[in-house]
Amino acid sequence: MASLLQGTIFEIRAQAPAPSKDYYQLIVTDATVIWRWWKISLRSEFRNVNPGEQKNSYQDFLDDFNLQVHVAVVFGNEILKYVCNLCQHQFDYLERLPNGVLVYAISFLELEDIARLSQTSRKFKKVCNCDELWEHIVSRYCDTVTPEMRALAVEVGWKEIFFTNKLQLQKKIRRRRQRVEELADNMMVEDHEL
């Protein structure tokens, strides 16, 4: 599991709340917390101010109350709490698993559980809505997956295929087949004219 914690563990960037226009970035690596800022102002005294960076060890970040206040103001208390947990070595290994492993594991969940899991984080929302996962689910629930269904899935996605009833799916496949035939006919006419 230690190999999952190499490099950048967490990264977020945002503009400070109004009326400030300053831009901030927070990066948590396997050993440090990096706080970066860019002053954005029309005022003459800030025009030549260079961007800044502060690197802290985990313990230094936990001891720096002023920096924690800045993080909370810019990114919110939930992000501050999450970063403090990371600095106390409370890592979220499940979030850090490769997508292929997550897709495989999630494909065994019930649909209601997949819907709930997709609401827990951006990463899980992305994985729970990816075509690779829904292709597994369609294969598990459907008796046969025809080549026409696969071709339609390229256009509309496997999740759409799964949640479309059989009559509607047949209608979509029929429409796609007609479009392909029309396109082939048009190409033959153009070739013939040349």
- The whole model's pTM is what? 0.54
- Could you count the other beta carbons within 10 Å of the beta carbon of residue 47? 9
Query: pLDDT tens for residues 112-158?
Result: 999 999 998 888 999 999 999 999 998 888 888 888 888 888 888 88
pLDDT of amino acid 17: 86
pLDDT of amino acid 1: 44
Q: Select the more confidently predicted residue: 18 or 127.
A: 127
Please report the domains of the chain, with CATH numbers, ordered by start residue: 2-95 (no CATH), 98-193 (1.20.1280)
Alpha helices in the chain (DSSP H): 58-63, 65-75, 77-87, 93-96, 99-106, 111-117, 122-128, 131-141, 147-156, 158-163, 166-193
Among the ranges given (5-14, 40-49, 63-72), the one the predictor scored with the smallest mean pLDDT: 40-49
CB-count exposure of residue 22 (10 Å: 0-12, 13-18, 19+): middle
